Amino acid sequence: MIALGVSNPAAESQYSLCPFKAVGITWCPGCGIGHAISWLLHGDLARSWQSHWLGAPALLIIGYRIYVLGRRMFIPKQEYKFE
C-alpha cells in the first residue's frame, strides 16, 4: 500500500507482476487495479474509476485485512475459560 501511495500512477514504464502481460497478452481482468488504488491514494477518483472500477472496493478490502492482521499481531488474544 505504501508503494502504491508513493508511486506515480501516470508513469508508463512501471514494472508489472501480471503474468498475462509477461507473455504478451494485452487484456487482463485484473490489470489496472494497482493503478486505480494508486490514483485513489493520490485523491484522483475520476482517474481511479477509469483505470479499474474495482479499485475502491479492493482498497477497502485490503485496508480492512491490514487492520485485522495488525490488530491480531499487536493485541494479544484473550484467553477463553470454559467453566
Angstrom distances, CA of residue 38 to CA of 14, 17, 20, 28, 79: 12, 15, 21, 18, 40
**35 close to 51: Cβ distance less than 8 angstroms:** yes
Residue 65 grid coordinates: 485485512
Would you say the pTM of this structure is higher than 0.75? no
How far apart CA 69 and CA 18 sit, in angstroms, is 26
pLDDT in tens, 4-61: 788 777 776 556 667 887 788 877 788 788 889 989 999 999 999 998 999 999 999 9
Q: Are 42 and 9 in contact (CB under 8 A)?
A: yes
